[in-house]
Structure 1
Amino acid sequence: MSKKTDKLKKLTLTDLIAKKEQKDKAKLAFKDIYVNSLGGAIVAQRPSDEVILETIDLMGNNDSAKEIVAAFKHLIYTSIPVLKEPSLQEAYGCTEPDEIVMKLFDIGEVLEVGAAIMEMAGVKDIGETIKN
């Protein structure tokens, strides 16, 4: 055993149970994300693991900008509850529900908001995540 592992804290049953409670709370987390063109913050809810995996799948295995924007469009729509409001979609003339994302945000903001939501879910470097 190396000196580094000798000093590591050994987790107890109590520690692991406490971690479960932390994870459960984190699943209900919300975050304010400032959007410059809107002049304020929107509220995003931490996406489920299923939505994160769907987003990564939609990105594919390359760095195609179209795939990344489409994936983040899905992520943003599913993570920002107000975007599902019929009155908002009607005001913007949306024919498909997730169309609101591209009508409300510019492409740079889609990338910024999508990255902020991914980070909220614990995925900090999406490029590395996809490659691995």
Structure 2
Amino acid sequence: MAAVSIQDLINKKDQIQAQKQETYDLDTSIGTITVKKPTRSFVLEASKLEESGESDKYMILNLVTAPNLKDASLQQAYGCTEPTDIVDALFDPGEVVGVSKKIMECAGYGKDIKTAVHEEVKN
């Protein structure tokens, strides 16, 4: 396994930055939804809601780009009093955790990183 060089990283700059903006389609019980990758700061913000059990719903509400779950007419049609209520109204209970987990996987969280022992070459 060859180490990545500084020049490799410079050459891949546009590609690496574009990957951070990728969106993904997820098949759910309501149909296909489009999600964007969370930023590190967003993940930290969402993690503060873990104790209340709202982090998964908060993540879905804010990272699903299509359909727009924050749409006022959608929220009103489902009688939502809080913006995150739409998540429970639309998705199956067990699916909320699954969608949130899949969003995190798209951003590399929980990714299995390959390792190898680095051996020094002796002269």
TM-score (norm 2): 0.76
Matching of residue 115 in structure 1 with residue 108 in structure 2: no
**How far off is 1:99 after superposition?**
1.6
Q: Name the structure 1 match of 2:58.
A: 74
RMSD: 1.9
Matching of residue 97 in structure 1 with residue 83 in structure 2: yes
Q: Name the structure 2 match of 1:57.
A: 48
**1:26 and 1:46 in contact (8 A); partners too:** no
Matching of residue 17 in structure 1 with residue 17 in structure 2: no
Q: Which runs of 4+ in 1 moved over 6 A?
A: none
Equivalent of residue 87 in structure 1, options 65, 68, 73? 73
* Cα deviation code 1:12-64 (max 9, x no counterpart): 3221124433331122111111112x2x211111122211122233325xxxx
Name structure 2 gaps, 5 residues minimum: 112-123
Name structure 1 gaps, 5 residues minimum: 1-7, 61-65, 126-132
Q: Which amino acid aligns with 2:100?
A: G
Decide which structure has greater helix share: 1
Q: Which amino acid aligns with 1:106?
A: D
TM-score (norm 1): 0.72
**1:47 and 1:78 in contact (8 A); partners too:** no
User: Kindly, what percent of the aligned residue pairs are identical?
Assistant: 39
Do the aligned partners of residues 19 and 59 (structure 1) sit closer, same or farther apart at CA in structure 2, a change above 3 Å counting?
farther
Task: Tell me how far apart the structure 1 counterparts of residues 78 and 94 of structure 2 sit (CA, whole Å).
Answer: 19
